Structures are given as structure tokens and as C-alpha cells.
Amino acid sequence: MSLIAAVSGVHDSGGYRRPPNLVAWLVLMPLLAWLFLFVIVPTVMLVVVSFAERDALGRIVYDFTLQNYIRAFDWLWLKVLLSSLWYALLTTLICMFVGYPVAYTIGRAPLHWRGLLLMLVMVPFWTSFLIRTYAWITILSKDGLLNSLLVSAGIFSHSAEILYTPFAIVLGLVYNFLPFMILPIYTSVEKLDNALIEAAYDLGAGPVRAFSQVIIPLTRPGIAAGAMLVFVPSIAMFAITTLMGGGTNPTIGEVIFKQFTSGRNQPFGAALGSILLLIFVLALWITRKYREED
């Protein structure tokens, strides 16, 4: 709405005329074009395809059908969706508990240290996440680095099964998405007003109370942003879950990927994708509603 208001120049105040709206449009043009090309067009395509059929080669046939949605509401696919939601939730919670102290420490560190610490958080982004995931396979496999270390140190009597387990999936997800939790929380922590925390102590709050009633509420926007940035992509992530989980626990991302490739069933994949999109929109809408009421 504010976008439209800005462009149409409703707040035309006083006697002097604002410059023509054309300039505002021109400035906004790249953004609008980007939104149209990469958000609106693909979404519309996805929804249209989800109501279509396909032929033996997997080519899309534009005959209207609800079959894809009827099939999508089978318990099988819902079960896959629920398990993906569960992994995403677990990942988000762990990222929160691990990421918060890290972000807090960086945000409160002396100024000249912060740049270096932040860089360390971002260093992994310099390599492709696939390469980093393969590195984890080398570390976690039965004859891998971790197991040989633990066995030769006498901590384990024989190699433990770490790779290709649900634990490995969550580890891979947490490892990959942790920076997305740390960075938004860090921005909130950095803006924390020290005076407020001192005031809490002066008024008799202990460290626990100061943390839970002052620091947490003040950094809540960072936590919420981080949670969204971790939760949403980890639902649909399939590369990490197949590589580190051994492909034994199908996730919704993997199922959709397979519809577009080996399943030769793009309309069904599109239907599953549309449902996932709807869930995201609903989740965003509910959190927003909740925040407004707050």
C-alpha cells in the first residue's frame, strides 16, 4: 500500500508542486520489474500448472483438473510434509539456542572485535554449501575423521553410526542455517541500549530476570526474523537431507524435486509446491496478525 501511496503522490502538501511522479516510477521500476518477473510470474505459472495434466513424456497438457490436489491430500504426502515441518522446527529451535549466545557475544564484544567475529560467521558462505555438505560426509562417515578420532582416543570401542541418520540431517540443517539466525539477532543486540539493562539491575532484577524481561523482549525482532529465515528454507531443503540422511526419510522438498525430474509429473509437483506456498503465506499472515494484536 505504501508503495502505491508513494508513487501516486497522495501526500501533496502545501503550495509548491512535487516533481512529476514519473521520477518515482522510474526509481521504482527495477524493483517492480524484479518483483513481477521473479515473484509474480513464477507463482502464477506454478499455480496454473498445478491445475493441468501431463502426457506420457511428462509434458504439461493444459486441461483443467483438480486431480493433483485430490492426490496431494493423501495421508502419504501429508506425512512427508509433517516430517519436513518437524525437521524445520527442530532446526529453528536449535539454531535459536545456539545462535543467540553467539550473536549476543558478538554484539557485546568490543567494537574492534566485532568485524572479525562477524566475518568468521560468514566465512562458510565463501564455499558452496554442497561442498561443505560433502565435507561433513567425510567427517561423519564410519571410517571418517570423527569416528577414527574417537576410536583411537579410546572414547568409543567401535565406530558409531552418525552419518545417514536423522541426527545427521538435523546437524546438516543447523550447520547450514545457523548464520541466518546469528546475523539478524546480532543486529538487534547491537542496538540494545545499555542504560535499559543497567536500569533493570538498579531496580533489583537478577541476571536471569534482566535477560528474560528486558534483553529478550528488546531483541525479539531479531529472533523473529532469524526464525523465519531458518524455518522457511529448511522446510524445502532437499540436498542436505538426501546427502546426509541417505535419502531414507523423504522430505517435501525432495518429493517435489522428484516430481519435476524422475517422476515426470510436474503438475503434481506444482500442486505440492502451491500447498507449501499457501502454508508459508498463512504462517506469515498469522504471525503478523499476532504482532499487530500484541
CB of 166 to other proteins, least distance (A): 13
Identify the residue among 117, 249, 280, 283 touching other proteins (CB under 8 A).
249
Q: Which of 71, 133, 98 is nearest to 272 (CA)?
A: 71
Q: Using alpha carbons only, what angle is made at residue 220 by residues 3 and 294, rounded to the nearest 5 degrees?
A: 70
Instruction: For residue 152, state whether it binds other proteins (rule: CB under 8 A).
Output: no
Q: Which stretch binds other proteins (CB under 8 A): 9-17, 142-150, 170-178, 189-197?
A: 142-150
CB of 161 to other proteins, least distance (A): 8
The nearer residue to other proteins, 194 or 262, going by C-beta atoms, is 262
Instruction: For residue 220, state whether it binds other proteins (rule: CB under 8 A).
Output: no
Site string for other proteins, 262-291 (x = CB under 8 A): xxxxx-x-----------------------
Q: Which stretch binds other proteins (CB under 8 A): 79-87, 100-108, 227-235, 270-278?
A: 79-87
Q: In the structure grid, which three cell numbers stand for residue 160, read together?
A: 558409531
Question: In a 3-state reduction of DSSP, which class is residue 204?
Answer: coil
Instruction: For residue 57, state whether it binds other proteins (rule: CB under 8 A).
Output: yes
Instruction: For residue 261, state whether it binds other proteins (rule: CB under 8 A).
Output: yes
The nearer residue to other proteins, 26 or 76, going by C-beta atoms, is 76
Q: Which stretch binds other proteins (CB under 8 A): 106-114, 207-215, 227-235, 260-268?
A: 260-268
Q: Quick one: DSSP state of residue 54?
A: E
H-only helix segments in 109-245: 111-122, 129-140, 145-152, 166-190, 194-202, 207-210, 216-236, 239-245
d(CA 51, CA 63): 8
Q: What contacts 64, CB < 8 A, 6 or more positions away?
A: 51, 52
Residue 143 is which amino acid?
D
CB of 101 to other proteins, least distance (A): 33
d(CA 276, CA 43): 12
The nearer residue to other proteins, 129 or 260, going by C-beta atoms, is 260
Question: In a 3-state reduction of DSSP, which class is residue 9?
Answer: coil
Sign, Cα dihedral of 246, 250, 251, 253? positive
Instruction: For residue 142, state whether it binds other proteins (rule: CB under 8 A).
Output: yes
**What residues make contact with other proteins under the rule CB under 8 A?**
54-59, 76, 79-80, 83, 137-138, 141-144, 159, 161, 163-164, 242, 246-250, 255, 258-266, 268
